[in-house]
Amino acid sequence: MIAITQRGIVMSVQKAPLTAAGLIAMLFAATAGSQEPPKTPIEAPAEPNAIPLGTGGVEGQTAKETWYKQWGDPFVRNVSRATLTPFLPERSKANGAAVIVAPGGGFRILSMGNEGWEVAQALNARGVAAFVLKYRLQRTVEDWAEFDKGNPLMAPTPGAPPGPPNFAAMMVMPLEDATAAFKMVRARAKEWGIDPKRVGMIGFSAGAGTTMAATLQSTENKPAFIAPIYGGLRAVDVPADAPPMFVALAADDPLFGKSDFGLISSWQKAGRPVEFHLYQNGGHGFGLGNPNRTSTGWFPQFMLWLEVNGMLKGE
Protein backbone atom coordinates (compact mmCIF):
# COMPACT_ATOMS: atom_id res chain seq x y z
CA MET A 1 0.00 0.00 0.00
CA ILE A 2 0.96 3.61 -0.43
CA ALA A 3 1.90 5.05 2.96
CA ILE A 4 0.98 8.61 2.06
CA THR A 5 -1.67 9.31 4.70
CA GLN A 6 -2.47 7.91 8.11
CA ARG A 7 -5.27 5.79 6.73
CA GLY A 8 -5.47 2.84 4.38
CA ILE A 9 -4.46 3.81 0.85
CA VAL A 10 -6.36 2.42 -2.10
CA MET A 11 -6.31 2.76 -5.85
CA SER A 12 -8.88 3.59 -8.49
CA VAL A 13 -8.78 1.91 -11.85
CA GLN A 14 -11.74 3.75 -13.33
CA LYS A 15 -10.89 3.95 -17.03
CA ALA A 16 -7.47 5.16 -15.97
CA PRO A 17 -5.78 7.64 -18.27
CA LEU A 18 -2.68 5.45 -18.30
CA THR A 19 -1.94 2.08 -19.77
CA ALA A 20 -2.11 -0.78 -17.28
CA ALA A 21 1.67 -1.04 -17.36
CA GLY A 22 1.98 2.72 -16.78
CA LEU A 23 -0.37 2.62 -13.81
CA ILE A 24 1.57 -0.24 -12.26
CA ALA A 25 4.82 1.67 -12.78
CA MET A 26 3.26 4.69 -11.06
CA LEU A 27 2.21 2.57 -8.11
CA PHE A 28 5.73 1.21 -7.74
CA ALA A 29 7.10 4.75 -7.86
CA ALA A 30 4.60 5.94 -5.28
CA THR A 31 5.44 3.11 -2.89
CA ALA A 32 9.19 3.24 -3.35
CA GLY A 33 10.90 3.96 -0.06
CA SER A 34 7.68 4.24 1.90
CA GLN A 35 7.32 2.41 5.19
CA GLU A 36 4.12 0.43 5.48
CA PRO A 37 2.67 -0.32 8.94
CA PRO A 38 2.11 -4.00 9.72
CA LYS A 39 -1.07 -5.84 8.84
CA THR A 40 -2.76 -7.77 11.66
CA PRO A 41 -5.24 -10.60 10.98
CA ILE A 42 -8.56 -10.18 12.79
CA GLU A 43 -11.73 -12.18 13.15
CA ALA A 44 -14.46 -11.31 10.72
CA PRO A 45 -16.65 -8.67 12.37
CA ALA A 46 -20.30 -9.36 12.92
CA GLU A 47 -22.36 -8.01 10.05
CA PRO A 48 -25.89 -8.86 11.22
CA ASN A 49 -27.55 -6.43 8.83
CA ALA A 50 -25.62 -7.40 5.71
CA ILE A 51 -27.98 -8.51 2.94
CA PRO A 52 -26.71 -10.91 0.24
CA LEU A 53 -27.12 -9.43 -3.23
CA GLY A 54 -27.31 -12.80 -4.96
CA THR A 55 -24.95 -11.87 -7.77
CA GLY A 56 -23.01 -15.14 -7.69
CA GLY A 57 -19.47 -15.99 -6.72
CA VAL A 58 -15.95 -15.50 -8.03
CA GLU A 59 -14.68 -17.94 -10.63
CA GLY A 60 -11.87 -20.10 -9.28
CA GLN A 61 -12.15 -18.76 -5.74
CA THR A 62 -11.32 -21.37 -3.09
CA ALA A 63 -10.07 -19.05 -0.32
CA LYS A 64 -12.36 -17.84 2.43
CA GLU A 65 -13.12 -14.19 3.00
CA THR A 66 -10.61 -12.89 5.55
CA TRP A 67 -10.12 -9.64 7.47
CA TYR A 68 -7.16 -7.71 8.80
CA LYS A 69 -6.31 -4.33 10.31
CA GLN A 70 -3.83 -1.77 9.08
CA TRP A 71 -3.56 1.92 10.03
CA GLY A 72 -6.09 0.96 12.72
CA ASP A 73 -8.75 0.29 10.07
CA PRO A 74 -10.45 -2.98 9.05
CA PHE A 75 -9.90 -4.38 5.56
CA VAL A 76 -11.40 -7.43 3.88
CA ARG A 77 -10.07 -9.56 1.03
CA ASN A 78 -11.25 -12.50 -1.05
CA VAL A 79 -14.86 -11.33 -1.03
CA SER A 80 -16.76 -13.83 -3.15
CA ARG A 81 -20.35 -13.00 -2.12
CA ALA A 82 -21.50 -9.41 -2.42
CA THR A 83 -23.59 -7.86 0.34
CA LEU A 84 -25.32 -4.57 1.04
CA THR A 85 -25.51 -3.27 4.61
CA PRO A 86 -28.19 -0.64 5.38
CA PHE A 87 -27.36 2.18 7.78
CA LEU A 88 -30.60 4.00 8.47
CA PRO A 89 -30.84 7.37 10.24
CA GLU A 90 -33.13 8.05 13.16
CA ARG A 91 -36.66 8.56 11.90
CA SER A 92 -36.75 12.05 13.39
CA LYS A 93 -33.70 13.02 11.28
CA ALA A 94 -34.42 11.08 8.08
CA ASN A 95 -34.87 13.26 5.01
CA GLY A 96 -35.51 10.49 2.44
CA ALA A 97 -32.18 10.72 0.61
CA ALA A 98 -30.08 7.58 0.18
CA VAL A 99 -26.48 6.90 -0.81
CA ILE A 100 -24.84 3.64 -1.89
CA VAL A 101 -21.29 3.71 -0.48
CA ALA A 102 -18.51 1.87 -2.37
CA PRO A 103 -15.20 1.50 -0.52
CA GLY A 104 -11.92 1.28 -2.41
CA GLY A 105 -9.00 -1.10 -2.45
CA GLY A 106 -7.79 -1.68 -5.99
CA PHE A 107 -10.42 -4.43 -6.49
CA ARG A 108 -8.30 -6.74 -4.29
CA ILE A 109 -9.22 -5.46 -0.83
CA LEU A 110 -11.91 -3.20 0.62
CA SER A 111 -11.33 -0.45 3.18
CA MET A 112 -14.56 -1.19 5.03
CA GLY A 113 -14.07 1.15 7.98
CA ASN A 114 -12.39 4.25 6.57
CA GLU A 115 -14.36 4.31 3.32
CA GLY A 116 -17.47 2.38 4.25
CA TRP A 117 -18.95 2.25 7.73
CA GLU A 118 -17.55 5.60 8.93
CA VAL A 119 -18.93 7.36 5.86
CA ALA A 120 -22.32 5.69 6.35
CA GLN A 121 -22.47 6.82 9.97
CA ALA A 122 -21.57 10.39 8.98
CA LEU A 123 -24.39 10.37 6.41
CA ASN A 124 -26.82 9.02 9.02
CA ALA A 125 -25.95 11.90 11.34
CA ARG A 126 -27.16 14.23 8.55
CA GLY A 127 -30.40 12.30 8.05
CA VAL A 128 -29.28 10.38 4.95
CA ALA A 129 -29.75 6.63 4.61
CA ALA A 130 -26.55 4.83 3.58
CA PHE A 131 -25.94 1.39 2.11
CA VAL A 132 -22.40 0.03 2.25
CA LEU A 133 -21.62 -2.14 -0.75
CA LYS A 134 -19.20 -4.99 -0.11
CA TYR A 135 -18.58 -5.97 -3.72
CA ARG A 136 -16.81 -9.03 -5.04
CA LEU A 137 -13.05 -8.82 -5.43
CA GLN A 138 -10.20 -10.26 -7.41
CA ARG A 139 -8.66 -13.29 -5.75
CA THR A 140 -5.59 -12.91 -3.56
CA VAL A 141 -3.32 -15.68 -2.29
CA GLU A 142 -4.93 -17.66 0.54
CA ASP A 143 -1.78 -18.04 2.65
CA TRP A 144 -1.55 -15.13 5.09
CA ALA A 145 2.25 -15.12 5.30
CA GLU A 146 2.49 -14.85 1.52
CA PHE A 147 -0.16 -12.12 1.36
CA ASP A 148 1.53 -10.19 4.19
CA LYS A 149 4.84 -9.93 2.32
CA GLY A 150 3.96 -6.96 0.19
CA ASN A 151 1.50 -4.51 -1.22
CA PRO A 152 -1.83 -6.29 -1.84
CA LEU A 153 -2.63 -3.91 -4.70
CA MET A 154 0.40 -5.23 -6.58
CA ALA A 155 -0.21 -8.91 -5.87
CA PRO A 156 -1.06 -11.00 -8.94
CA THR A 157 -4.28 -12.98 -8.93
CA PRO A 158 -3.38 -16.62 -8.22
CA GLY A 159 -3.31 -18.60 -11.46
CA ALA A 160 -3.64 -15.50 -13.66
CA PRO A 161 -1.51 -15.34 -16.82
CA PRO A 162 1.60 -13.16 -16.64
CA GLY A 163 1.36 -9.56 -17.74
CA PRO A 164 -0.52 -6.44 -16.65
CA PRO A 165 -3.98 -6.89 -15.09
CA ASN A 166 -7.08 -6.54 -17.22
CA PHE A 167 -8.80 -3.57 -15.61
CA ALA A 168 -11.93 -3.88 -17.77
CA ALA A 169 -12.38 -7.45 -16.54
CA MET A 170 -11.84 -6.34 -12.95
CA MET A 171 -14.81 -3.98 -13.25
CA VAL A 172 -17.35 -6.62 -14.28
CA MET A 173 -18.21 -7.94 -10.82
CA PRO A 174 -18.30 -4.58 -9.00
CA LEU A 175 -20.61 -3.21 -11.70
CA GLU A 176 -22.93 -6.20 -11.40
CA ASP A 177 -22.97 -5.79 -7.62
CA ALA A 178 -23.62 -2.05 -7.80
CA THR A 179 -26.51 -2.63 -10.21
CA ALA A 180 -28.00 -5.18 -7.83
CA ALA A 181 -27.60 -2.67 -4.98
CA PHE A 182 -29.55 0.02 -6.85
CA LYS A 183 -32.32 -2.47 -7.60
CA MET A 184 -32.56 -3.56 -3.97
CA VAL A 185 -32.55 -0.06 -2.50
CA ARG A 186 -35.32 1.12 -4.82
CA ALA A 187 -37.35 -2.07 -4.39
CA ARG A 188 -37.31 -1.64 -0.61
CA ALA A 189 -37.52 2.16 -0.57
CA LYS A 190 -40.83 2.27 1.26
CA GLU A 191 -39.62 -0.15 3.93
CA TRP A 192 -36.47 1.90 4.49
CA GLY A 193 -38.18 5.29 4.35
CA ILE A 194 -36.33 6.63 1.33
CA ASP A 195 -37.31 8.38 -1.87
CA PRO A 196 -36.44 6.13 -4.85
CA LYS A 197 -35.85 9.27 -6.93
CA ARG A 198 -33.11 10.45 -4.53
CA VAL A 199 -30.79 7.45 -4.51
CA GLY A 200 -27.18 8.37 -5.31
CA MET A 201 -23.76 6.77 -5.03
CA ILE A 202 -20.43 7.72 -3.51
CA GLY A 203 -17.23 5.79 -4.04
CA PHE A 204 -13.62 6.06 -2.96
CA SER A 205 -10.70 5.28 -5.28
CA ALA A 206 -11.61 1.91 -6.82
CA GLY A 207 -15.07 2.56 -5.42
CA ALA A 208 -15.05 5.83 -7.37
CA GLY A 209 -14.34 3.75 -10.47
CA THR A 210 -17.28 1.51 -9.57
CA THR A 211 -19.44 4.60 -9.13
CA MET A 212 -18.51 5.88 -12.59
CA ALA A 213 -19.11 2.46 -14.16
CA ALA A 214 -22.53 2.27 -12.50
CA THR A 215 -23.28 5.67 -14.04
CA LEU A 216 -21.75 5.39 -17.51
CA GLN A 217 -21.82 1.67 -18.30
CA SER A 218 -25.39 0.96 -17.24
CA THR A 219 -28.68 2.37 -18.48
CA GLU A 220 -30.72 1.05 -15.56
CA ASN A 221 -29.01 2.39 -12.44
CA LYS A 222 -29.66 6.09 -13.07
CA PRO A 223 -28.23 7.49 -9.81
CA ALA A 224 -29.78 10.80 -8.74
CA PHE A 225 -26.26 12.10 -7.96
CA ILE A 226 -22.74 10.73 -7.78
CA ALA A 227 -19.59 11.53 -5.81
CA PRO A 228 -16.37 9.89 -7.02
CA ILE A 229 -13.82 10.72 -4.30
CA TYR A 230 -10.10 10.55 -5.19
CA GLY A 231 -10.75 8.45 -8.29
CA GLY A 232 -9.39 8.60 -11.83
CA LEU A 233 -10.30 11.74 -13.76
CA ARG A 234 -9.95 10.71 -17.39
CA ALA A 235 -12.25 12.40 -19.92
CA VAL A 236 -15.37 10.40 -20.72
CA ASP A 237 -18.41 10.54 -22.95
CA VAL A 238 -21.19 12.08 -20.87
CA PRO A 239 -24.82 11.13 -21.55
CA ALA A 240 -27.41 13.88 -21.84
CA ASP A 241 -29.08 12.75 -18.61
CA ALA A 242 -25.89 12.38 -16.55
CA PRO A 243 -26.50 13.08 -12.85
CA PRO A 244 -25.02 15.96 -10.86
CA MET A 245 -21.48 15.06 -9.83
CA PHE A 246 -19.36 16.05 -6.81
CA VAL A 247 -15.61 15.32 -6.97
CA ALA A 248 -12.94 15.69 -4.27
CA LEU A 249 -9.21 15.12 -4.72
CA ALA A 250 -6.00 16.14 -2.95
CA ALA A 251 -3.34 17.89 -5.03
CA ASP A 252 -0.69 15.68 -3.41
CA ASP A 253 -2.51 12.46 -4.31
CA PRO A 254 0.31 10.26 -5.71
CA LEU A 255 -2.01 8.61 -8.22
CA PHE A 256 -4.30 11.31 -9.56
CA GLY A 257 -3.09 14.63 -8.14
CA LYS A 258 -1.39 15.61 -11.39
CA SER A 259 -4.34 14.65 -13.57
CA ASP A 260 -5.56 16.95 -16.31
CA PHE A 261 -9.05 16.68 -14.76
CA GLY A 262 -10.67 15.58 -18.01
CA LEU A 263 -13.67 14.12 -16.19
CA ILE A 264 -14.57 17.56 -14.86
CA SER A 265 -14.25 19.13 -18.30
CA SER A 266 -16.38 16.36 -19.81
CA TRP A 267 -19.24 17.11 -17.40
CA GLN A 268 -18.90 20.85 -18.00
CA LYS A 269 -18.89 20.53 -21.78
CA ALA A 270 -21.99 18.33 -21.61
CA GLY A 271 -23.77 21.03 -19.63
CA ARG A 272 -24.26 18.78 -16.62
CA PRO A 273 -23.94 19.99 -13.00
CA VAL A 274 -20.48 19.38 -11.51
CA GLU A 275 -18.60 20.56 -8.43
CA PHE A 276 -14.88 19.91 -8.04
CA HIS A 277 -12.78 20.41 -4.89
CA LEU A 278 -9.01 20.16 -5.32
CA TYR A 279 -7.50 20.29 -1.84
CA GLN A 280 -3.93 21.29 -1.11
CA ASN A 281 -3.14 18.13 0.82
CA GLY A 282 -4.53 14.84 2.03
CA GLY A 283 -2.79 12.25 -0.15
CA HIS A 284 -4.81 9.27 -1.27
CA GLY A 285 -7.22 7.23 0.82
CA PHE A 286 -8.13 9.90 3.37
CA GLY A 287 -11.75 8.80 3.84
CA LEU A 288 -13.58 11.44 5.86
CA GLY A 289 -10.25 13.18 6.40
CA ASN A 290 -7.11 13.25 8.51
CA PRO A 291 -6.02 15.88 11.06
CA ASN A 292 -4.23 18.96 9.77
CA ARG A 293 -5.09 18.31 6.14
CA THR A 294 -7.29 20.63 4.09
CA SER A 295 -9.09 17.66 2.48
CA THR A 296 -10.88 17.12 5.80
CA GLY A 297 -13.31 19.79 4.60
CA TRP A 298 -14.78 17.75 1.76
CA PHE A 299 -17.65 16.07 3.65
CA PRO A 300 -19.36 19.26 4.92
CA GLN A 301 -19.04 20.65 1.39
CA PHE A 302 -20.60 17.49 -0.01
CA MET A 303 -23.57 17.83 2.34
CA LEU A 304 -24.01 21.48 1.38
CA TRP A 305 -23.89 20.47 -2.29
CA LEU A 306 -26.60 17.84 -1.73
CA GLU A 307 -28.76 20.42 0.00
CA VAL A 308 -28.34 23.08 -2.69
CA ASN A 309 -29.17 20.51 -5.37
CA GLY A 310 -32.42 19.63 -3.62
CA MET A 311 -31.39 16.10 -2.66
CA LEU A 312 -32.19 16.51 1.02
CA LYS A 313 -35.83 17.50 0.47
CA GLY A 314 -38.71 15.62 -1.06
CA GLU A 315 -41.00 17.14 -3.67
pLDDT tens string, the chain, 315 residues long: the values are 333 333 433 333 333 333 333 344 444 444 444 567 899 999 999 999 999 999 999 999 999 999 999 999 999 999 999 999 999 999 999 999 999 999 999 999 999 999 999 999 999 999 999 999 999 999 999 999 999 987 877 767 887 777 777 888 899 999 999 999 999 999 999 999 999 999 999 999 999 999 999 999 999 999 999 999 999 999 999 999 999 999 999 999 999 999 899 999 999 999 999 999 999 999 999 999 999 999 999 999 999 999 999 999 976
Identify the burial level of 44 via C-beta atoms within 10 angstroms of its C-beta, where 0-12 means exposed, 13-18 middle and 19 or more buried.
exposed
Q: How far apart are CA 31 and CA 132, in angstroms?
A: 28
Top-tier CATH class for 20-308? alpha beta
* Dihedral sign computed on CA atoms, order 236, 80, 159, 116: positive
* Dihedral sign computed on CA atoms, order 276, 205, 293, 22: negative
Q: Map out the domains of the chain as residue ranges.
A: 20-308
Residue 276: which residues within 8 A CB-CB, separation 6 or more?
A: 247, 248, 249, 261, 264
